[in-house]
Amino acid sequence: MHFNIIKIAALLCIATIVGLTSCNQNTSSEKGSQVAADSTFTNPLLTSGADPWAIYHEGNYYYIKSDASKITLMRTPDITDLEHAEKKMVWNPPAGTDHSKNVWAPEVHHINGNWYIYVAADNGDNRNHRMFVLENTSRDPFTGSFEVKGRIKTDDKDNWAIDGSIFEHRDTLYFIWSGWQEPKTKEETQRIYIATMSNPWTINSDRVALSKPELKWERNWDYPDAWTPESPVYVNEGPQILKHGSKLHLIYSASGCWTPYYALGMLTTDENSHLLDPKAWTKSPEPVFQQSPENGVYGTGHNSFFKSPDGTEDWILYHANDNPADGCSDKRSPRVQKISWTENDMPVFGVPVATSKQLKKPSGTPMK
């Protein structure tokens, strides 16, 4: 009897140990699954959002977007978790002004301690699209207010201009944008221009055209499955600067956004070159990033770039569609993926990944 009691007690002890071990294993497995889920993501980052732009500043990404009438700023330490980002509507232009409608492609920049938003807008007539700059002198862009600093006059005749971006190189500010050489007649041709600036809101040089839609892949405009303009519209737009090593790359979007052929092109120059010299830039003969029917990604374009939180990785942020006929609608959604580099400082963008593909988050992204 005494032996049986001891035996039963021993068996209960073993069962308890096994149970605790099993429990610990299950807990560890669950924690491992949670860690894996926290370290990966899938595209798109939001269900809708054209012309995405973001920067990393003091532990947070600042993502900016417009809905054609106002501008919203978003803040998050995890760019892949925009759905839960802090949000604030930072600009709602008054009705009846020359910048009250068609608010396109805003960018937010931190320059000399102030915050600036560059945005294209008009009075309801696309022919009147021009670039505007907003300024907020607060240290935190979610406090204070963004006020119109001015309308950027891009040339003596104040021609049509959209998609402006600013960058600094060798202690000089540069402005790049998409514009018309002259007012539209029958055809419309958007060129990529560059000029120097005396301050974040004033151009102080003649504009110089760096690129025009001349290659076959840059000139897709007729796509009846979605929408086709009444007359040809040839597009170079959305310029962005990407620096690496000894080279500067100007990445731009080409062909109509209403077509699935909307793609990224590239101009490249040496860091020591004269940036206002068109001959200093070399155009890639083929798109550097384009649709992938195999992965169900179309109309890849109007991108920006950002660094991972720890500064070790370069990422592309772009919009795309899930279907070839989605066009320039609100079906466009923001997506990201890491880019790599060749030994001679040329970017490798790869192929746009499918929305089902699990991607590792940018290096240094804080865990929840």
pLDDT (tens digit per residue) in 40-84: 999 999 999 999 999 999 999 999 999 989 999 999 999 999 999
- Distance between CA atoms of 195 and 167, rounded to whole angstroms? 11
- Distance between CA atoms of 111 and 294, rounded to whole angstroms? 41
Q: State the burial class of residue 11 (Cβ atoms within 10 Å of its Cβ: 0-12, 13-18, 19+).
A: exposed
pLDDT-derived band at 36 (thresholds 50, 70, 90) equals: low
pLDDT digits (tens, 9 = 90+) for 118-166: 999 999 999 999 999 999 999 999 999 999 999 999 999 999 999 999 9
Q: Which residue has the tokens 């890639």?
A: 284
Lowest pLDDT segment from 19-23, 206-210, 294-298, 356-360: 19-23
Run of H or E including 11:
helix 2-39
Query: Mean pLDDT across the stretch 101-122?
Result: 98
Domains of the chain: 42-360 (2.115.10.20)
Grouping H, G, I as helix, E, B as strand and the rest as coil, residue 219 is: coil
Average pLDDT across the chain, whole number: 92
Which residue from 337, 339, 259 is spatially nearest to 45, judged by alpha carbons? 337
pLDDT at 215 over 70: yes
Kindly report the backbone phi and psi dihedral angles of residue 183, in degrees, each rounded to the nearest multiple of 5, phi listed first: -55, 145
Q: Identify the residue with better confidence: 30 or 361.
A: 361
Q: Which residues pair with 114 in a beta bridge?
A: 111
Q: Which DSSP string corresponds to 179-196?
A: E-SS--SSSEE-EEEEEE
- Distance between CA atoms of 115 and 11, rounded to whole angstroms? 70
Q: How far, rounded to the nearest angstrom, does the alpha carbon of residue 136 sit from its chain's CA centroid?
A: 22
Q: What is the pLDDT of residue 275?
A: 98
Which residue from 39, 37, 36, 68 is spatially nearest to 51, judged by alpha carbons? 68
Q: Which DSSP string corresponds to 48-62?
A: --SS-EEEEETTEEE
Lowest pLDDT segment from 18-22, 34-38, 195-199, 340-344: 18-22
- Distance between CA atoms of 281 and 249, rounded to whole angstroms? 9
Grouping H, G, I as helix, E, B as strand and the rest as coil, residue 14 is: helix
Q: What is the pTM of this model?
A: 0.91
Catalytic residues: 51, 237
- Distance between CA atoms of 86 and 64, rounded to whole angstroms? 12
